[in-house]
Amino acid sequence: MWFGSRLPIYKQSSYRLRCWLRSVRQRSQGILNRPRMLGPDGKSLRFVSLVVAMFESLQDGLKAAFKSLRGKGKLTESNMRDGLRLVETSLLEADVSYSVVKDFMGEVTEKAMGEKVLLALDPSQQLVGIVHQQLIELLGPVDASLHLKKDTTVLMLCGLQGSGKTTTCGKLSRLLLDSNVRPMLVAADLQRPAAIEQLHVLGQQLNVPVYSEKGAQDPVRVCQDAVRKAKDEGIRVVILDTAGRLAIDQELMQQLQRIDLRVQPDQVYLVVDGMTGQDAVNSAKAFNEALELDGVIMTKLDGDARGGALLSVKKVTGVPIKYIGTGEHLDSLEPFRPEGMAGRILGHGDVVALVDEVQRVQTAEEQAALEAKMRAGEFTLDDFRDQLLKMAKPGLMQKMMGLMPGMGDMQKLLQDEDAEGSMRQTVGIIDSMTPAERRHPKIIDPSRRMRIARGAGVEPQLVNQLIKQYEMMAPLMQSMAGKGMGDRMRAVQELQRSGMLDPGSRGPRVKKSTGKRLTAKERAKMKKQREKELRRKKRSEKGKN
C-alpha cells in the first residue's frame, strides 16, 4: 500500500483526514454506484483494486446514515433530529449503554444547536464533526502512564470473570520490560482452577518472577506477602492478578476492598471485555464504588466488536482509559487513543492505526527509497514484489482490514477471498521471471510467457494480466510519488474511473484445497446421508408446528 512518506501529517490531524475521506466518497459516487468489483465468486483481489475496494465499502454504518443529510444545504432542526436519531441507533448498536447514549445525544444536540450559524457547505460533515469531537472529548483525556514511583509501585487488576486480567498482566509486564523495568506478578486468583499455573507460564515466557503461595486460601495475605517481598528485593513494579468476580457478589467485592485496604495499591485498573454490552455500566459502577479505580484497560478489541462499552465505562467511572488489548500475543497492548476509538464506535474504522500498521511493516528508509524509485519512474516488478511480500505476512491483511473504514464489509469479503494467497501467487509469477524481464516486462513474448506461467504454475493469461496491471500502474506510481495520501487516492480513483482497473480483470483464481477426493460411491453415500438429514430436519420442524 503506497501511502507514502508524508503520513505523519495525517497522523497529526486524523480528523481532517476523515473529513477528506468523506468528501472523496461523495465525489466518487459514480464509483460506488457501478457494479462491485468483487463478486462473491471472485477469488482474489489485485493490489490497487483492493485499496479502491476498501474505500468503496465505506458505506457501512453511520456513513449511510449521513447520506440522508447530504445535499440539503443547511442543517435545520428537523433534519438534524433524523441524523441524531441515526447516531443514537449507531451508538446503541455499538453497545454503548442506553443512559449514556441519552446523555451523550443531549450534549451533542446542544452543541450542534449552538453552532447552527456556522453551518455552511456540508451539514453532514459538521454533524459528524461534532459527534466525533464530542466522543473524543468524552473518551479523553489520554493518560497512558502507569505512574511509577521511585520505589515499589503496586498495580492491581480487577474485573469480571473472563475479561482478560491474567493475559493483561502478561501484556503489562511486556510493556514494562520494554522500558527496562522488571515487574513481579502476583497470583492472587485463588478461585479459578489453574489460574496460578497460567500466571507462572506467562512469567516463564516473559522471564519475570511470579509470586504465589501453594495452598493459600486468603488472597489478601498473598498480596501482602508479595508486596513485602518485592519491597525487600527492590522490585520496582508489582502487578496483582485478582480473581474475576461479579460486581454483585458482596463477599468477593469485600475481599477486593480488603486487598485494597491492606496492600494499598498505587494504581487500580479495571479490565473490561471489549465485547461487553449494556451491563458495562452496572459492573463498572460497582467496581468504582468499591475500589476507586485509577484506570481502565479494555481487552479483545482485535475482533469486530465496536467497543461501545468503553464509552459507558468512561462515563460512569470518569477515570482515564489506559490501554487497549488488540491481540492474543503479549505485545498487543496499545496505549489508548480516543480518536481511533471514537471512529470505531461510530463505525468509521481507524485510519490512524492503519497508517501506523503500514509504517510498522515498512521502515522510513525503505519508504524513502521506494519513493525515490517511484519518482524516477523506476518502479519495477521487483519492487512490486517486495511490496506484496510485506503485505502477504500472515494475518496482516486481516488486521489492516479491521482497521479500515467500512471494515465490516471488507472482513466479510476477506473471509471468502484468499487475498493473501493471491498475493503469493503474484509473487510466484514475478519470481519465475528473469531479472531482465522484471526490469522490462515489455520483452516478455509468448514463449517467455509460457515459461513464466509454467514456472509459477499458473495459466499464461495470468502472467499477461499482471504485466498489464503493472504497465497501468507504473506511470501512476510516478505521478503519485511525493504526493500526499489525498492526491494518491484521487489518482487511484482516476484510474478506476478510466476503467483501467475494470471489474472483469479480477486476477488469478487461487486454487484452494478441495479436501479429500471421494469416489463416486462415497459421494452418493454422502448425498444420501445429507438428504436423510434434511428430511429428518424437515420432519422435526413440522413436528414443532
Partner 1 sequence: MMGLFDRFRGKTNVESQDVTSTPPRADETAADTGHVDSAASAAAPKGLLARLRQGLRRTSQLLNTDIRDLFKQDGRLVDDDFVDELFAILVRTDMGTGPSAQIRDQIRSEFRGRVVRMDDVLHSVKSQLKQLMAQDEAPLNLATSGPTIIMVVGVNGSGKTTSIAKLAHFLKAQGKGVVVAAADTFRAAAVEQLTVWAERIGVPIVTGSAGSDPASVAHRAVAQTLESGADICIIDTAGRLQTQANLMNQLAKIRRVITKQVPEAPHEVLLVLDATAGQNGISQAKGFSEAAGCTGIILAKLDGTAKGGVVIPIRQQFHLPVKYVGLGEKAEDLALFEGGRFVDALLDDEAPEGHF
Contact residues for partner 1 (CB under 8 A)? 89, 92-95, 97-99, 102, 160-164, 167, 191-195, 197-202, 205, 246-248, 273, 275-283, 299-300, 302-306, 308-309, 328, 394-395, 398, 402, 411, 414-415, 515, 529, 544
| SS3 sequence of 301-357 | CCCCCCCCHHHHHHHHHCCCEEEEECCCCCCCEEECCHHHHHHHHHCCCCHHHHHHH
Q: Which amino acid is at 435?
A: P
Q: Which amino acid is at 300?
A: K
| Pick 103 or 366: Cβ nearer partner 1 | 103
Q: 309: Cβ–Cβ under 8 A, 6 or more apart, which residues?
A: 95, 96, 97, 272, 273, 274, 275, 276, 277, 280, 298
Nearest approach, Cβ of residue 314 and partner 1 (Å): 16
| Pick 203 or 508: Cβ nearer partner 1 | 203
| Pick 212 or 362: Cβ nearer partner 1 | 212
Nearest approach, Cβ of residue 57 and partner 1 (Å): 16
Nearest approach, Cβ of residue 208 and partner 1 (Å): 13
* b (16+ CB within 10 A) / e for 14-29: bbebbbbbbebbeebe
Nearest approach, Cβ of residue 201 and partner 1 (Å): 4
C-beta separation of 261 from 296 below 8 A:
no
| Pick 19 or 201: Cβ nearer partner 1 | 201
Nearest approach, Cβ of residue 332 and partner 1 (Å): 12
Nearest approach, Cβ of residue 194 and partner 1 (Å): 4
| Pick 25 or 306: Cβ nearer partner 1 | 306
| Pick 4 or 343: Cβ nearer partner 1 | 343
Query: Helix axis angle, 364-375 relative to 381-391, nearest 10°?
Result: 150
Q: 188: Cβ–Cβ under 8 A, 6 or more apart, which residues?
A: 219, 222, 223, 226, 240, 241, 242, 243, 259
Nearest approach, Cβ of residue 35 and partner 1 (Å): 26
**187 backbone dihedrals φ, ψ, rounded to 5°:** -85, 90
Q: 408: Cβ–Cβ under 8 A, 6 or more apart, which residues?
A: 57, 60, 61, 304, 347
Q: Which helix (H) or strand (E) holds 156?
A: strand 153-159
| Pick 123 or 170: Cβ nearer partner 1 | 170
